Amino acid sequence: MDRLIIEGGKRLQGEIGISGSKNALLPILAATLLTDEPCRISGVPCLRDTSTMIRILRSLGKNVNFKNDEITVKSSGHVNTTAEYKLVSTMRASFCVLGPLLAKFKKARVSLPGGCVIGLRPVDLHLKGLRALGACLDIDKGYVVARADRLSGAHIYLGGAFGSSVLATANVMMAATKAYGITKIESAACEPEIVDLAKFLNKMGARIKGFGTPLIEIEGVRRLQGVEYRIIPDRIEAGTFIIAALITGGDVKLVNVIWQHMGAVLDKLEDIGADIEKADKTIEVKSSRPLRATNITTLPYPGFPTDMQAQMMALMSLVPGVSIITEKVYPDRFMHIAELNRMGAHIQRQGPHAIIEGVGQLCGAKVMASDLRASACLILAGLVAKGITSVSRIYHLERGYENLDEKLNSLGARICREKE
């Protein structure tokens, strides 16, 4: 197991390319189960989660080849409709194979999922949606066992306690592509990753309308075909690099980015004083002005993303004044607070609120990552901290960031890896 050793105080400067979106890629890979024809997906990031989904597809009978930034998925002729615990338990998005398996093969046996420990994330909305389409579902020894002689279109409300669910929307939408009749998903997730999945499915021959809005309509079709498709850039990686520039007082240009997907993040950063210039597929960050304290509430898209909450907390811990971050998507997603405080931050948690009193300096320390975005948060803090920061358990980081340490080093950071 590796850890990152960060020498703080290095100003970031230069140009960096943004990788393809992990959160768009994983459901799209699951969607290849809906066809026997070859699919080629480009812009693929080399991540631990990518490897996990490839292993799942292979276990289900697909031939998968990953070279450079392209994945080709073909049918092997062998079909297995059981997604095993040892794979699904490591990554929550792998639960998205349930809908495609059920739609294509009329049955599925999929382990209940795992992933980052960021609070309770039940699969009740997934099951509710699939039952509405006519599936018979049981929980047996940690597996969801699903059967359906025929899926039929339905009007499905997918709103949950904390808003819409991206993965539940994806799972139900994929299943509905081969259901008989019309399916309407109300309170559907509006994230760009759902839009990317819908575009991929439509290119396969699906008939989906309304994606990007809270009401998605799917007309079922009998057959889906193989396609070539390029996934969108990762808006969370882009946001992380913007904050890396700001926290180090640097000037960084991001290329291969869709800034229109980042409205809430860019609006908040500009509101606190960040100098951000947006062009066609680029964002340029200049640290030319002091930043101001602010209040942030995470919400489903198009609100401020929960996946940027931890990184923003690292930045606000150094901004004079008092900032408050309210987490309304995963209220327990605050495990990084204790680690930031070890580095000299002044942060208190009160229920779903983090109250951040800005300090003048963070100090390097030994810290431990609890989840994917907390890993990025601690690295950002280490970039600006006085002295040396050691971040352990970075396997979380490798689930969702492609060579983050190498990319930061190319901008002037000083980060090395060593075995724990």
Give the mean pLDDT per block of 10 residues along the chain (420 residues). Answer: 95 98 98 98 97 96 97 92 91 93 96 59 87 95 93 96 90 98 98 98 98 98 98 98 98 98 98 97 95 97 97 98 96 94 98 97 96 96 98 93 97 95
Catalytic residues: 116
**Which residues, other chains included, contact 63 with Cβ-Cβ below 8 Å and sequence gap of 6+?**
73, 74, 75, 76
Give the tokens for residue 172: 């139900």
In the chain, what are the domains?
2-19+233-419 (3.65.10.10), 22-230 (3.65.10.10)
DSSP 304: B
What confidence score (pLDDT) does residue 225 get? 98
CB burial of 162-172 (b: ≥16 within 10 Å; e: otherwise) equals bbbbbbbbbbb
Among residues 302, 295, 300, which one has the least CA distance to residue 260? 302
What confidence score (pLDDT) does residue 116 get? 46
What confidence score (pLDDT) does residue 114 get? 59
Give the tokens for residue 88: 């699904």
* For the chain, counts of helices (H) and of strands (E): 14, 24
**Which residues, other chains included, contact 68 with Cβ-Cβ below 8 Å and sequence gap of 6+?**
none
What confidence score (pLDDT) does residue 121 get? 53
* Residue 56 CA, distance from chain mean position: 18
Strand locations in 224-313 (E) = 228-230, 251-255, 275-278, 282-286, 295-298
What confidence score (pLDDT) does residue 77 get? 85
Secondary structure (3-state) at 27: helix
Do residues 166 and 23 touch, judged by C-beta distance below 8 A?
yes
